[in-house]
């Protein structure tokens, strides 16, 4: 966000004394006023993505304030415009608000009234520009080849550069990062940017495969190799020939199997269980761990020779708390994905929501942030879109909502969003949701929702 002293405010009025008074008030408060005696002059001087607000009289020679409002909103619908009305001209003020004015001031107005409405308009403008910037950045990043590494902090920019460099060379890679930092995404990004992108990408979670079957899963087996081996099985390594094998949580791999993995990495060939011949492999291996393998090797829980074989190229993945500036961008990214998948709208973040995101510690890293973004889209309306309440649990409690409670919250959120989208028109909402009016009114009563709260004053 900009400091007030760098933020411009356009004041448009044909009365010199009002321009002078408003200019002095704004300047003393730290804003940069730009005064014009006509709407035409102001439009000519208005730059794209103007970061401030417009304060304009309604009644002026030539283009009046209402015409200016329509012209400005045709250029930028998010630009806050504050219109100045004559004393007692309430009907004009109401018309201006319906036409999209941010607020209005009635002559004569005090300096603190002007500063209050300008301050709120500036906050809205900064939020709108930030959301536009986030969306534009997301569009650029979504156009990238392969999985997207969303972020703009120096640490994530360096990681993206390393991924691009590593993907162009034939070397095994070790990814090191906390749970939820995106090791799977980075592994896929390396594969998709490499010459192997058209060949298989095989991901194996070494901690999720039972110890008695992991050797067969990785290396395959011949028919009759052991009890229950009724036919030949091609293992993950052989199936990935020409492509990439991703070994997640490699620290969980049994020590006995680590010996065989070391041999595969050194000889680039695999021998199925029960076979007498080896199968040559043309693969890249990407391993990932959330523990320090050097320490694990020193403690005897991981083979030292395998550690050094894997440690050719190591990529450390930053925790989310190390890249806090990326949090709003990531959240918006995940919210858009969740909204597209669920058919709902992605709510925009206000300053309180952004503050709540930045204040959280994120022990679950990007995975935790993604889960929150999905809950925000699905259940946000039931929490009045308070991210702090969602972060803390139901009704700002400490427990995660049960499944029936989640269903109830989702239903309430869906009804609220539909009412907002259709401005409280029950007939349109029932048609949109595909439910009878009686059922809908029963649900309104159940969730203590009033359709009147979503109706605009201009709606019938």
Q: What is the pLDDT of residue 261?
A: 92
Q: Where are the domains of the chain?
A: 7-134, 154-318, 322-454
CATH number of 7-134: 3.40.50.2300
Burial 122-142 (b: 16+ CB within 10 A, else e): bebbbbbbbbeebbebbeebe
| Residue 425, pLDDT score | 85
Extract the residue ranges of the chain whose pLDDT is less than 70. Answer: 1-6, 87-90, 134-148, 393-410, 413, 456-460
From the options 3.30.70.270, 2.170.120.12, 3.40.50.300, 3.40.50.12780, give the CATH code of 154-318. 3.40.50.300
Residue 410 φ then ψ, to 5°: -65, -40
Identical fold for domains 7-134 and 154-318, yes or no, is: yes
Please give the Cα distance from 176 to 289 (Å, whole number): 5
The CA-atom distances, in angstroms, between 74 and each of 3, 347, 354 are 28, 23, 29
Q: Kindly give the pairing relationship between strand 233-234 and strand 32-36.
A: unpaired
Q: What pLDDT does 342 receive?
A: 75
User: What does each C-alpha distance from 153 to 81, 318, 329, 353 come to in angstroms?
Assistant: 33, 11, 11, 20
C-alpha span between 222 and 273 (Å, rounded): 6
Gyration radius of the chain's alpha carbons: 30
What does the pLDDT look like over 153-163, one tens digit per residue?
A: 899 989 989 99
Q: What is the CATH number of domain 322-454?
A: 1.10.8.60
Predicted local distance difference test score (pLDDT) of residue 140: 56
Check residue 402 and give its pLDDT. 55
Check residue 333 and give its pLDDT.
85
pTM over 0.75: no
What pLDDT shows up at residue 244? Answer: 96
Confirm if 200 and 189 have CB atoms less than 8 A apart.
no
Q: DSSP secondary-structure letter at 223?
A: T
pLDDT tens profile 223-254: 888 888 888 888 899 999 999 999 999 999 99
């Amino acid at each position: 966000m900009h400091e007030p002293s760098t933020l411009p405010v356009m004041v448009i009025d044909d009365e010199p004394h009002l321009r002078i008074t408003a200019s002095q008030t704004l300047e003393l408060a730290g804003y940069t006023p730009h005064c014009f005696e006509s709407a035409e002059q102001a439009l000519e001087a208005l730059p794209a993505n103007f970061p401030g607000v417009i304060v304009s009289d309604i009644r002026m020679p030539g283009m009046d304030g209402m015409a200016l409002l329509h012209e400005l909103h045709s250029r930028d619908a998010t630009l806050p415009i504050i219109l100045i009305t004559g004393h007692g001209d309430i009907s004009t003020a109401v018309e201006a608000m319906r036409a999209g004015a941010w607020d209005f001031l009635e002559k004569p107005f005090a300096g603190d009234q002007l500063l209050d409405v300008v301050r709120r308009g500036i906050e809205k403008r900064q939020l709108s520009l930030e959301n536009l910037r986030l969306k534009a950045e997301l569009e650029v990043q979504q156009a990238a080849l392969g999985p997207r590494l969303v972020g703009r902090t120096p640490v994530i920019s360096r990681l993206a550069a390393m991924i691009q460099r590593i993907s162009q060379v034939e070397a095994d890679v070790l990814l090191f990062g906390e749970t939820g930092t995106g090791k799977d995404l980075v592994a896929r990004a390396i594969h998709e940017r490499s010459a192997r992108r058209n060949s298989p990408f095989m991901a194996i979670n070494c901690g999720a495969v039972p110890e008695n079957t992991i050797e067969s899963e990785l290396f395959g087996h011949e028919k009759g190799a052991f009890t229950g081996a009724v036919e030949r099985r091609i293992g993950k390594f052989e199936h990935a020939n020409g492509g990439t094998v991703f070994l997640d949580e490699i620290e969980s791999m049994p020590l006995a199997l680590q010996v065989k993995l070391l041999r595969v990495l050194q000889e680039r060939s695999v021998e199925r269980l029960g076979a007498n011949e080896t199968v040559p492999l043309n693969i890249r291996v990407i391993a990932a761990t959330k523990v320090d393998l050097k320490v694990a090797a020193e403690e005897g829980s991981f083979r030292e020779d395998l550690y050094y074989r894997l440690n050719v190229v190591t990529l450390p993945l930053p925790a989310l708390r190390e890249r806090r500036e990326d949090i709003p961008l990531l959240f918006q990214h995940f919210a858009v994905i969740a909204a597209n998948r669920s058919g709902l709208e992605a709510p925009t973040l206000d300053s309180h929501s952004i503050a709540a995101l930045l204040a959280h510690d994120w022990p679950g890293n990007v995975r935790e942030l993604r889960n929150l973004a999905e809950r925000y889209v699905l259940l946000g309306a039931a929490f009045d879109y308070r991210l702090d309440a969602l972060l803390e649990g139901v009704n700002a409690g400490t427990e995660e909502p049960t499944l029936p409670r989640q269903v109830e919250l989702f239903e309430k959120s869906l009804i609220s969003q539909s009412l907002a989208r259709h401005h409280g028109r029950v007939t349109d909402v029932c048609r949109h949701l595909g439910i009878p009016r009686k059922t809908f009114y029963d649900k309104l009563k159940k969730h203590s929702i009033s359709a009147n709260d979503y109706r605009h004053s201009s709606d019938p």
